[in-house]
Amino acid sequence: MAGARRAPGARPGPHRVAPAGTVPLARALSKRGLASRAEAIALILAGRVRLEGRVVRDPGIAVVPERMVVDIDGAATTAPAWRAIALHKPRGVVTTRRDPDGRPTVHDLIAPLGGGLAPAGRLDLASTGLIVCTNDTRLASWLTSPASDLDKEYVVTVRGTLDAATLEGLAGGVEDRGEWLRPTSLRLLKASTRESHVAVVLTEGKNREIRRLFAAAGHDVTRLLRVRIGGLELGSLAPGDWRDIRQEKLAVYFPEYSGGRSRRPRRSDPAR
C-alpha cells in the first residue's frame, strides 16, 4: 500500500502528488462506484473504511483502485473485472456524473452495465461521438493526459464556405483568450455556400478548442462528431450504442500505452 502514514483524522495536504498509477483513496472509492467523492471522504474520516484489513483515516492515501482490498462498515468489496467500452455519446448528454439541471448524463447511459465504468474525458453538451468508458483508472488517466500526445479526430460542420487561405491560417494556429490553439491537422472534406465539413485532429484538447478555433475565423460550428481516439474508431456505432473493447486489443488501438506510461516523447509545443 503506497503513501505516507498520517495521524488518525489527518486530512491530506494541499500539495500531495500520488505516485504514477495510483489515485487518492477517496477518489478510488468514487471510481469504484462505492460512494461519491464527498461521501467517501466522510466515511474515511469517520473510520468506517478498512484498507487491506486496517482502518485508514486519510482520504488522500495513494492506492491502485484495481488492486485495493477495501471494506466499508465491515462489508468487503471486490474490484470488478477489467472492462472498457467504446460509447457513441449523443447530442444533449453531459459527461458529469450528476447534472444539477437534470439533463441526461453519460453515466445514465452506462449505469446498466455496472462494473464502475466511467468516461475517460469529456465531450460538451452539443458534441457527439466516441468516448471510452472504463473501470481501469490508469488507462483513463493515460487517455486524458496531455502528455500522452494521443490523436483525437473530429468531423466538424461549420457555417459558410471555408477557403484555402482560411484553412491555412487556422492550421497555423490562432491565439484566443491567452491560449494558443493549433490543430495537428485540418482537412477539408466538402464545402458549399451554406456549410463546410472539415476533419480536425487534435492531440491536446483545450476547453471548447475546435469551436473557438473556427469562431476566430468567423465560422460557427453547427455539428461536432468525434470519430477516432488513437487507433480506436467510432465506426458504425449509433448514438447511445456501445461496444466492448477487448483488453488484448489495447496495444492495437493505443500502441504507445504501457500501463499508464507513454512510449514516445511528447511533441514540442509550437512557438508562440
**Mean pLDDT for back-to-back runs of 10 residues, the chain (272 residues):** 39 52 85 83 95 93 85 84 95 89 92 86 95 91 90 97 93 91 95 95 89 95 97 97 96 85 42 30
Cell of 15: 500539495
Phi first, then psi: give them for residue 40, nearest 5 degrees: -65, -45
Which one of the listed residues 71, 108, 124, 149 is annotated catalytic? 124
Position 177 scores a pLDDT of: 86
147 CB burial (10 A radius; 0-12, 13-18, 19+): exposed
The burial class, CB within 10 Å (0-12 / 13-18 / 19+), for 89 is buried
Q: Which fold has domain 152-229?
A: Pseudouridine synthase (3.30.2350)
- Select from 3.10.290.10, 3.30.470.20, 3.90.550.10, 3.40.190.10 the CATH code of 23-77: 3.10.290.10
Q: What is the H or E stretch that residue 153 is in?
A: strand 152-159
Q: Given the C-alpha cell 447530442, which residue does it identify?
A: 91
CATH class of 84-147+237-262: alpha beta
Q: What percent helix, strand, coil does the chain show, rounded to 5?
A: 20, 30, 50
Active site residue 124: yes
Q: Which pLDDT score, from 0 to 100, does residue 104 have?
A: 94
What is the per-residue pLDDT for 155? 98
Cα 237 from Cα 36, distance rounded (Å): 30
> At CA 160, angle to CA 157 and CA 162, rounded to 5?
80
Which of 88, 98, 57 minimizes the C-alpha distance to 226?
A: 88
How much is the pLDDT for 246? 96
Residue with cell 477539408: 188
Cβ neighbours of residue 157 under 8 Å, at least 6 residues apart?
195, 196, 197, 198, 221, 222, 223, 224
Domain ranges of the chain: 23-77, 84-147+237-262, 152-229
Which has the closest alpha carbon to 184: 163, 210, 218? 210
